[in-house]
Amino acid sequence: MSNLFEEVRLNLPHIELAAHLFGPEDGLPVIALHGWLDNSMSFARLAPKLTGVRIVALDLAGHGHSGHRPAGGGYALWDYAYDILQVAEQFGWQRFSLLGHSMGAIVSVLLAGALPERVERLALIDGLVPFTGEAETAPEKLGEALRAKLALGSKRKPVYETVERAVEARMKGVGAVSREAAELLAQRGLMPVPGGYTWRTDPRLTLPSPLRLTQAHALAFLRRLSCPVSLALAEQGMLAHQAAVVKMLGEFSFDVTPLAGGHHLHLDDEKGADAVADCFNRFFTVA
C-alpha cells in the first residue's frame, strides 16, 4: 500500500483543519470526507489508486488532528458543509468534486444540493442522506439531545492501556472494520494520556442530533443535485439494509455499483479499495 501524501494544516477563518494531499497538483480538484469518528486515514488505501485527481483528504472538525469546535458549539452536518466551502476557497477552487464515505457522503449530498453550481461530481461510498425523522418525533429528539448534552461534562473518554486494546475496540465499533483498517485509523486517531491512549475525537461528536431532517427534506436535496453521482454500495454495508434509502435510489438516475464488502470496504483491504478505485476512476475520467 502506498502512503505517499503531503500533510497540511488549513487555517480557516473559524477553525484549523488538518488534511492529507494526494495526487498531482494539476489534477481534478477533489475534497475527500471521511465518516463519523474516522479521520483522513480512511482514504489511505483508496486515494493512491485514483488517477488524475488532486485529493484533499480532510480530518473533519473534531476528528483526527483537526481543531474542535469552540465551547458551546456543535457538529451539525451543515457546519461541515461550510468548512468544506472554506477549504475550497483556500485552494482557489470555484468548482470541485466531492469524495465522501458514510457521514462524509451525506455532507457531500447536502452541499451539492444546496450549492449545485460549486460541485462538479459526487463520488459516494455507502452513504447518501442522513437518518430522517418526522415532525411528531422532534420534541422528544430535542429533549434527548439536551439531556445528553447536560450529562456530557460528567463523562470521561475511555482510556486503553495499549494501542492494541484501542484497535480491538475500534474493530467492534459502529461500522465495524478490519484489523488493518482499525490500525490505520488508530495511527491518526489516538493520542497518549495518563494510563494509556484515548481517541482524539471531540466527545461532543457522540451526542444525539437535536433535530433530524424529514424524509421530504432529504428527497429535496437529492432532487436538486445537478452533477453526476456515483455511489459505491457495499453489499454488506449500511445502506443496503435501509429500505427507505433503497427506495429513494429507485427515483434517481445515479450510477450505483454494488460491491462486495462491508461499510468500510474502501479501507478494510486492498481488494475492496481496488474495487472502489475501479468504479471511481471510470467516473472521474468521463467527459
- Provide the annotated active-site residues: 102
Q: Side-chain half-sphere of 112: how many Cα atoms within 13 Å?
A: 28
- Dihedral class, residue 23 (left if φ above 0, else alpha if ψ from -120 to 50, else beta): left
Please work out, in degrees rounded to the nearest 5, the angle formed at the alpha carbon of residue 174 by the alpha carbons of 181 and 86: 75
Backbone angles phi, psi at 236, to 5 degrees: -110, 25
Under 8 Å between Cβ of 188 and 278: no
Residue 60 burial (10 A CB sphere; 0-12, 13-18, 19+):
buried
End-to-end, the C-alpha distance of the chain in Å comes to 29
- Report the run of H or E that residue 267 belongs to, with start and end: helix 265-268
* Other CB atoms within 10 A of residue 201 CB: 21
121: left (phi over 0), alpha (psi -120 to 50) or beta: beta
Q: Which three cell numbers stand for residue 269?
A: 483491504
Contact 31, 58 (CB under 8 A): yes
